[in-house]
Amino acid sequence: MKKIFVLITVFICAVATSSACTNFLITRGASKNGSTFITYAADSHTLYGELYFWQAASYPAGTMLPVYEWDTGKFLGEIHQIANTYRVTGNMNEFSLSIGETTFGGNDKLVDTTGIIDYGSLIYITLQRAKNAREAIKVMTELVETYGYHSAGESFSIADPNEVWILEMTGKGTVLQQNKKTKKYENINKGAVWVAVRIPDGYVSAHANQARIRNFKWSDGKTSISSKEMDKIFDTSIEVVYAHDVADVARKLGLYSGDDKSFSFSDTYNPVDFGGARFCDSRVWSFFKSINKDMWKYQDYAMGKDLKNRMPLYVKPDELIDFKHIAGMMRDHFEGTELDMTKDIGAGAFKLPYRWRPMTWSIDGENYVHERAIATQQTGFWFVAEHRSKMPTPLAGILWFAVDDAATSCLTPVYGCSSRVPKEYAKGNGDLLTYSENAAFWVFSRVTHFAYLRYDVISQDIIKIQHELESKYAELTDVIDEHAKKLYAENKEKAVEFVTDFSVNTAANTVKRWKELDSYLMVKYIDGNIKKEENGKFLRTPTGIPAAPNQPQLPEFWRRAIKNDAGEKLKSSEK
């Protein structure tokens, strides 16, 4: 048990140094409005929530692009810049291509220490170079093949208005050998092994820091190809693409000894263990069981008890799902399950669905864990990327974007083609060590942290405004879409500027409303009291002083816990 516990702790620490994240992938045939969606929660204790932006640009031949590791800011090297790049807003570009990720880590020996491309740079460079999901897969795999893959194992979500793909990748390790001509030592294992699978239309998938692709169809030239046949990737009948040496590398490293057809990417490069199930795939399960009743049979797997009963890569929802459900599940804390974080005594008197780190702990010689839910306190930013095939390309993508804890923050719509980003969300407006009163991240963090004090009641006031704004924005985007399409028929640039103005103004309104909410919550809940109110106004006595506040009794289970802990010390002598 102690050995297992140590392994779990190491696993968590490895994930914590990168982004321990959650992604959902929804195809057109699985969504109510026919859009594709991917979601992403960028979770890290050192990540500041902001909206990145790159303008489209042209470069002269010979231009070099410096690459900095996304997690650390460390300079990794330079790569050749292409002649023309595309505009990128956050994790979506002007062609409604979006990419998200979760880190599964895997075997540390597979990291290419000489590689120039880390997983974060891989995302944002690709968004500047690719127009659709298939092209993104080609660009991503060619970049790591050319320059080396610097990161650990990674799962990527890739979506455009028509298709959704999952791509899983890990390095080949570092074996240095001197180049006879240059006399420099080079990694002869440069590159990566990977598999990409298109999610069938009508299905949904998800990943959360555990590799999910197991067995896959090997090249038949019709629906599956290897990297040696990459020229065929734009054939829409192709559903699986993989590195030609994905199994050979595993055999060479002693990780696998079977034949090609029995090869499983996940079982080889990131075998599931207790931590992989309980802290990672449990989040996938929580989403899956919300849309497919048969997924409840995997509850024991999600709890780390039955590791052989692994979930499928994708499932078909019982009913078509909408934006509200997708966003709602990004705010999940395992409510209604055995892992419900509001139920045990760790939630305190006010049902707080969070446990401060570390996640593993010991008492009386026994080892224990806290849950790792989809919604978590260390979220830097998160989004729901929506891609609409019925809209003209520049207008097809909306990045529903938010910062801080998903459960108590609000999504604001930002069109992927936007020519600028809201200053409240812009990079450089504060950082994790620099407070900015006009930065969305700090405004949302203030409200969320106040909610943690009395979560059961304060969170409900937040959710009320959250739903009010997101419902209003959903209605507004329908109106904006219609006007933007008319403008687009006349002048593309005017249409782009129109939706940009909407995105910027709506984001400003979101932050303004959250500042008002911050003030309201402070007045209502200060000092553990709950002010009385009626029709949106706090009540006063006939003489004008504040009405006596409500002071609700602590719940019985908590009073009993206090009694059991204090013994006779707090017992009153009065009857």
524-567: per-residue pLDDT in tens? 999 999 999 998 899 999 999 999 999 999 999 999 999 999 98
Give the span between the Cα atoms of 333 and 352, in whole angstroms.
10
Give the span between the Cα atoms of 542 and 561, in whole angstroms.
41
Average pLDDT over residues 386-412: 97
pLDDT in tens, 256-284: 999 999 999 999 999 999 999 999 999 99
Number of H helices, E strands in the chain: 13, 26
Whole-angstrom CA distances from 427 to 26, 74, 75 are 29, 18, 19
Evaluate the CA torsion angle 438, 442, 448, 453 in order and state its sign: negative
For residue 1, is pLDDT > 70? no
**CB count, 10 Å around CB of 2?**
9
Give the span between the Cα atoms of 47 and 404, in whole angstroms.
10
15: pLDDT confidence band, cut at 50, 70 and 90? very low
Helix (H, G, I), strand (E, B) or coil at 173: coil
For residue 8, is pLDDT > 50? no
CA angle 487, 490, 496 (to 5 degrees): 45
Q: Tokens for 345?
A: 């005594």
Whole-angstrom CA distances from 83 to 57, 62, 317 are 8, 9, 43
Give the span between the Cα atoms of 85 and 70, in whole angstroms.
19
In 65-77, which positions are buried (b, 16+ CB within 10 angstroms) versus exposed (e)? Answer: eebebbbeeeebb
Q: What single-letter DSSP state applies at residue 570?
A: G
Single-letter amino acid, residue 464: K
| Average model confidence (pLDDT) across the chain | 94
In this structure, are strands 204-207 and 314-315 parallel, antiparallel, or unpaired? antiparallel
Give the span between the Cα atoms of 162 and 395, in whole angstroms.
14
Is-above-0.75 flag for pTM? Answer: yes
* Cα of 352 vs its chain's centroid, Å: 22
108: pLDDT confidence band, cut at 50, 70 and 90? confident
Give the span between the Cα atoms of 173 and 23, in whole angstroms.
27
- DSSP alpha helix (H) spans, 93-222: 119-127, 133-147
Q: What single-letter DSSP state applies at residue 165?
A: E
pLDDT in tens, 302-335: 999 999 999 999 999 999 999 999 999 999 999 9
* Helices 455-490 and 492-525: angle between axes, nearest 10 degrees: 170
For residue 18, is pLDDT > 60? no
For residue 217, is pLDDT > 60? yes
Average pLDDT over residues 196-215: 98
For residue 436, is pLDDT > 70? yes
Query: By the 8 A CB rule, do 400 and 386 touch?
Result: yes
